[in-house]
Amino acid sequence: MNSRFNLFVRAAAASALAAGSLAAFGAPARAADNVADLELTITGTKIAATSSGKVIKATIKNHGPNTAVGTVIVFDSQRLISSKVKLEVLDAELCEVRGAKFACIIGDIASGVSLDLPITLTRLGGTGNAGKLVAAVAHEGKDPNEENDATNGGVDVEVGVSGPDLYAQADDVEVDANGAKKLVAPGGIGKVNFEVGNQGDVAVDGVTFELKLPEHVTFAGELDGCTYDAAKTVATCKYDKLPLAPADQDKNPGDNVYSAIKGFHTVKVAENAPSPKDLTGTMKVDAILAAAPAVEAPAAPKAIAELPEGLVGEKAEEAPADKAAQSPIVKPGKTAPEVDKSDNSDQFVVFVGKTNGGGGSDKPVADKPVADKPAGTDNQAGGSTDGGGLPVTGAKAGLIGGAGLAVVAVGGFLMISARRRRVVLVTPGDEKSAL
């Protein structure tokens, strides 16, 4: 049996759960002494009517108690309506493709760690029901709860109405560059990296987002535009003059139009926090919609005059030439509703544990992403085009960055380390640390 075929063999436990759609690939060998409970969820599968497509999120969570070794994910698109949408392969050369199915090796996922895979759905035409997406995960050990390993029955995919489509991304606190937990000691300080973006086909006038910290964790600083509860565990941040354009309409690296913003917030773990312990927080975002127009007009994007202190504008990555940006017509007296709220929230984990000098700091860090700012921006919209242009980020890179995908070709397969870390793709010669 060759190793290429074995890639599918190892995914067979998930295959059976996925309504039998992948069952033809056989049964994997299982290491009974390595128990890990994986959970697969897919969100953001409703696409705006005139957008070129959308990056949806497949989240693999390891509930433990052990590391999931040799994790594999399998996608099956045969139940999608091929005239409306197309599921893009993660990497045609590094994933094994068989007809409407493809499988990729994810690698090892530590207990407590979540991995967000960015999966692209391209819109081909039409609106309404676009079928179902089937996916499943498996690893080399024993999974005590296989019912949550697959999208049983499939996830509904739909091409909806025109409107904005926000996403929220919050990173775990923290993991290192190799995907291992970077613990924050009781009394220590870490940071939550976050990103908000628009994958719809209509701009928003602004955004409101909320960061809610878990018990034993408080905010160590403050961000402009945010208010805090008395316990400093909930931050509500409102930016009513922060228009975010659809990613399809954010193509000029030299203008003041942005489809996403990012930042971070420092957090402090209490001295009496339980250790070791994984503590879960949440982030959610809502759109501030534009007022209804007096006359029928295209929903054109707006420029940002000045970015709030502590936030950085994100430019979308370049779309294919045949996917020209469209500005849908908005009817008089009507506002465009948000297309899909299933990806408006995200969870993050604060990994608390005793450390030997690593993982977190006992010194406050200003809530300003100084190291993350593109050269020359100085918090002004537009920024500098020196050094080869602005970072290529936006929705796709936001999900890639949030997942922290380290992609390496190993034996012809796709190896993706299980970490959630900010990744900023930049042109050669303009590379900056993102942490």
Beta bridge partners of residue 434, listed in sequence order: none
What is the average per-residue pLDDT within 56-83? 92
Position 337 scores a pLDDT of 81
Report the range out of 96-100, 233-237, 415-419 with the highest average pLDDT. 233-237
The reply to whether omega before 391 is within 30° of 0 (cis) is no
Question: Three-class SS of residue 348?
Answer: strand
More reliable by pLDDT, 4 or 152:
152
Q: Kindly report, residue by residue over 395-435, the tens digit of the pLDDT.
A: 433 333 333 333 333 333 333 333 232 222 222 333 333 32
More reliable by pLDDT, 322 or 167:
167
The phi and psi torsions of 227 (rounded to 5 degrees) equal: -115, 155
How far apart are the C-alpha atoms of 134 and 116, rounded to whole Å? 17
405-428 core/surface letters (b: 16 or more CB in 10 A; e: else): bbeeeeeebbbbbbbbbbbbebee
Q: Is 11 in contact with 25 (CB distance < 8 Å)?
A: yes
Is residue 365 predicted with pLDDT exceeding 80?
Answer: no
pTM: 0.74
What is the average per-residue pLDDT within 334-356? 86
Q: Please give the domain boundaries of the chain with CATH numbers for all domains.
A: 1-160+396-420 (2.60.40.10), 162-389 (2.60.40.1510)
pLDDT above 90 covers a percentage of the chain that reads 43
Is residue 348 predicted with pLDDT exceeding 50?
Answer: yes
How far apart are the C-alpha atoms of 108 and 352, rounded to whole Å? 21
Q: What confidence tier does 176 reach under pLDDT thresholds 50, 70, 90?
A: low
Q: What confidence tier does 116 reach under pLDDT thresholds 50, 70, 90?
A: confident
